[in-house]
Amino acid sequence: MDPLKSITPIDGRYREKVRLLEDYFSEYAFIKERVRIEIEYLIKFIDEVENSKIASLPSDWKNVLCEVYQNFSIRDAEEVKEIEKTVGHDVFAIVRYLMEKVDKCGLTVLKPYLHIGLTSEDVNNLAYSLLMKKFNEEVLIPYLLKLVDELSRLSLENINVVMLARTHSVPAVPTTFGRFLVNYAYRVAKIVEELSDIEFPGKIGGAIGDYNALKFVYPEIDWILFSKIFVESLGLTYFPAFTQTLPHEQLSNYLMKIALLDSILSNLCRDLWMLSLIEYISFQAGKHEVHSSTMPHKSNPILLENAEGAFDLSSEILSYISRRLLSSRLHRDLSDSIIKRFYGLPLSLTILGIQNLTSSLNRLEINKERMLKDVEEHPEVLSEAYQVFLRRHGFPEAYETIQRLLKENPQKIRGELEKRVPSEKLREIIKLAPHEYLGEAERIVKLLIREIEEIKNRIHSLKLR
């Protein structure tokens, strides 16, 4: 399909930026994963339940079956979709396709056991969890770690770059640009650690989750144990409390963490935008880019604004999906099916946002002189130091006195200090300049960077488990 004719921008305008996600959220990826599950289930079923059939099979029968999903192509997926047009059921179409494949591979004896005892939701829940798990490990976490690294790098590079902090938009006290950024680096790293430790669930259980048909036909098999071992062999966590559907709370927990992440990153975008507004930072346009159709001088933070919108939209969609999919009428209804098919939309928006935010940081230019000038032009930011210093020396009305003098005549503050504090103790407070009033800003940056490195090491250890 021509991207210009796509209905959503994800498959149109932003297609090239998120093309890699077609391996996780496309119809083709979903069909292929379900084909794999059907074949893996068939192999285990023959091995452990109908092993008398193995004698009539060629020695390489497992390899032959595995090649079906390993070599599954777009053309194969199109065959499945053609069958679906006739049968009107996506999973039954896959089963029908596999029966034809098994015939062609000379494994006809296996046909009766394809999808035996399963319901479509058994296959679908496993496919969704496996695709989500791969997306998390192969795409989301690596992208986020790159973002954390970029924020950490900028934090260290700007550890001493003095900046006027603002609370309620009003000048507060001095800080550093590195200290401002490291907060976000740490917050994102903590969520990445949580995402790295997520367990993705799965189940098989038949029509309503009680293994009715399988237990009736094969009473000698422990189907609960069989199912648990099969699910875990796929790299998923067996979830024992289910109906025909797998309860969604574990996946909802995962998606909600990403929704929270999106909100944090959207807030970072807005903070950077506001720092751009007051000319502390800027984002330079690419060599041949045009940022206004009428004003040639414009160099707008367009990637940052795009990222903010992507994060906000993704967060809202993921929050809805997380809540909505906790509900299922009695033992099954189909209202969840269409919603799950949109997993890829918010997660693509998240990746798009991370890409654009990271690109914005790479274009970041810092106006250190403007930051310092702003600090020095607001000497009143030392009022906190003055009133706490006076209180330290036993003056209980220090806050009210400094507040009054700031309004009446700030020049009188020094006289008040001299009147209240012994001269030998005045030198440090009198000499204090606004750009020196930084508290533990530098130390906090270093501490948090060390914490981030420890978090990254733990994430690496989780991958090796």
Kindly list the catalytic residues: 168, 292
Report yes or no: 456 and 148 within 8 Å, Cβ to Cβ.
Answer: yes
Report yes or no: 207 and 215 within 8 Å, Cβ to Cβ.
Answer: no
Consecutive H or E run containing 44: helix 27-48
Burial-class residue 285 by CB neighbours within 10 Å (0-12, 13-18, 19+): middle
CA distance 450 to 454: 6
Nearest partner of 113 among 54, 66, 63, 168, judged by Cα: 54
Consecutive H or E run containing 238: strand 237-238
Give, in order, the Cα–Cα distances in Å from 36 to each of 30, 205, 310.
10, 18, 33
Give, in order, the Cα–Cα distances in Å from 67 to each of 70, 96, 114, 429.
5, 17, 16, 77
Cα of first residue to Cα of last residue in the chain, in angstroms, is 41
Nearest partner of 238 among 371, 129, 145, 317, judged by Cα: 129
Consecutive H or E run containing 306: helix 302-324
Q: What is the DSSP string of 383-409?
A: HHHHHHHHHHTT-TTHHHHHHHHHHH-
Q: What is the DSSP letter of 1?
A: -
Tokens representing residue 269 in the block: 């975008």
CA distance 360 to 363: 5
CA distance 163 to 183: 15
CA distance 212 to 218: 10
Nearest partner of 336 among 347, 350, 323, judged by Cα: 323
